[in-house]
Copies of this chain bind each other. A is one copy, B any other.
Amino acid sequence: MKVAAKRETKKEQRTRANTQAPEVKERESVEHIFREFLKKKGYRATPERDIVLREIYSAAGHFDADELFIKLKQKNHNISRATVYNTLDLLVECNLVSQNSFGHKHLHYERVYGYDHHDHIVCNQCGEVFEFSNPKIEEQQDAVCKSMGFDIRQHTLQIFADCVKTDCDYKKRQAEQSQTKSQR
Contact = CB atoms under 8 A, between A and B. Distances in A.
Given A101-B101, A183-B86, A184-B89, A148 B132 contact: yes
A165 B153 contact: no
Given A121-B150, A136-B140, 12 more contacts: A11-B148, A43-B184, A101-B101, A101-B103, A134-B141, A137-B140, A137-B141, A149-B165, A150-B162, A150-B163, A150-B164, A156-B158
Contacts of A151: 161-164
A70 interface: no
Interface of A: 11, 43, 86, 89-90, 93, 99, 101, 103, 107, 121, 123-124, 130, 132, 134, 136-137, 140-141, 144-145, 148-165, 183-184
A164 to B, nearest CB: 5
Given A156-B157, A157-B155, A163 B149 contact: yes
Contacts of A155: 157-160
Contacts of A107: 101, 103
B153 A161 contact: yes
B136 A149 contact: no
22 contacts: A11-B149, A43-B184, A101-B103, A121-B145, A121-B148, A130-B148, A132-B148, A136-B136, A136-B140, A137-B137, A137-B141, A141-B159, A144-B159, A149-B165, A150-B159, A150-B161, A151-B163, A153-B162, A155-B159, A156-B157, A157-B157, A157-B158
